[in-house]
Chains A and B, each alone.
Chain A
């Protein structure tokens, strides 16, 4: 790889734009393709497929074996609620490579002492969320249990098409939440995206165990093949 390509790849990644490096492994010939330049690329269909799967792979084209390396943006996690579960979840997500931000307007909860080394924003979601540039590559977790905080945050997550949206609460709590969100303009599709009760069913009891259940569910959402995707 030449330095120019490497520098460009790093710039694209810093800007959270997907980028591909296509290498002929028989001779080292290489080119970079930015997501914005995909339209009309001779390998457009193949590259789009690899991006959708978030997977790097060998492909064959024109009798050549080419390696397509997909550099998709680093996943982020936004946690609404600086609660006990979040104290376990934030460091776990960080060790898996996520950029983590915790949002909670209650300053007694959102203190740096409770969340060492994690970005904590002690503001209401309407103030805290827009500057975070929440995007598709974001796992969005709402665990305050307080509709005044969780509901507006979830509406923001729908708008930004987060790959994972989860919210704490029993089936009964969730049914009420669905009604409230719909009354505020959320579609059936939006509310169907919410994982609630949150986390894989592993019988979690302690905050740490609930964090494991949530993290496992997010990982499954990120990595398992999507239904209907080829």
Chain B
């Protein structure tokens, strides 16, 4: 069974309460045929375990990498992925959309 948004936020709460460093990534803007709508969540812990999605699997890897830095620094960040962006192409957002993802630490 697929995890749902509430399960994702529940996992974030449980990880944090268990003493993990946790980051929350949220799709805040989309253009074109972005696969996941604004509001979609991905949670990441300091072991690199993640739950949920911000795209159809295209950019999760890059978001997880950034999230680990944000868990360490505590500084939130707004990430952008799109076809015009070489990094985005490299991470595979070839579906023709652009997305902005806000990543913050659960403090």
Cβ-defined contact, B6 with A1, below 8 A: no
Cβ-defined contact, A10 with B6, below 8 A: yes
**Residues on A with beta carbons closer than 8 Å to the beta carbon of B37:** 55-56
Cβ-defined contact, B2 with A95, below 8 A: yes
Interface size of B in residues (CB-CB distance below 8 Å)? 26
Interface size of A in residues (CB-CB distance below 8 Å)? 27
A39-53: CB near B (< 8 Å → 1, else 0) gives: 000000000000000
Interface residues of B, Cβ cutoff 8 Å to A: 1-2, 4-6, 9-10, 12-13, 16-17, 24, 26, 28-29, 37-39, 75-76, 78, 100, 102, 104, 106-107
Interface residues of A, Cβ cutoff 8 Å to B: 1-3, 6-7, 9-10, 13-14, 23, 25-28, 30, 55-58, 67, 69-71, 74, 94-95, 97
30 contacts between A and B (CB under 8 A): A1-B24, A1-B104, A3-B16, A3-B106, A6-B12, A9-B9, A13-B6, A23-B26, A23-B28, A23-B102, A23-B104, A25-B76, A25-B78, A25-B100, A25-B102, A27-B76, A30-B104, A55-B39, A56-B37, A56-B38, A58-B28, A58-B29, A58-B38, A67-B28, A67-B29, A69-B38, A70-B39, A71-B5, A74-B4, A97-B2
